[in-house]
Amino acid sequence: MTSTVTTSIDRARRIATVTLDSPQRMNALDTAMWRQLERAFVALSADAALRCVVLRGAGEKAFAAGADVAEFATVRSNREQARAYARITHAALEAIANCPHPVIAQIHGACVGGGLEIASMCDMRICGTSSRFGIPVKRLGLVVSYSELNALIALTGKAAALEILLEGRVFCADEALAKGLVNRVVADDAVAGEIEATAARICEGAPLVARWHKKFVRRLADPAPLSESELDECYACFDSKDFGIGYQAFLDKTKAAFVGE
Same domain, 156 and 243: no
Same domain, 197 and 226: no
Same domain, 191 and 227: no
Instruction: List, for residues 17-48, the tens digit of each pLDDT value.
Output: 999 999 999 999 999 999 999 999 999 999 99
Parent domain of 73: 4-202
Same domain, 100 and 224: no
Instruction: List, for residues 118-141, the tens digit of each pLDDT value.
Output: 999 999 999 999 999 999 999 989
Same domain, 130 and 29: yes
**Sorting pLDDT into bands at 50, 70 and 90, what band is 76?**
confident
Task: Say if CB 181 and CB 155 are below 8 A apart.
Answer: yes
What's residue 70's pLDDT? 85
* Domain count for the chain: 2
Same domain, 24 and 136: yes
Handedness of CA 221, 222, 226, 230 (dihedral sign): negative
**Sorting pLDDT into bands at 50, 70 and 90, what band is 68?**
confident
Same domain, 154 and 213: no
Instruction: Tell me if 155 is assigned to some domain.
Output: yes
Same domain, 23 and 49: yes
Instruction: Tell me if 53 is assigned to some domain.
Output: yes
Same domain, 90 and 158: yes
Q: What is the CATH number of the domain that holds 49?
A: 3.90.226.10
Instruction: Tell me if 260 is assigned to some domain.
Output: no
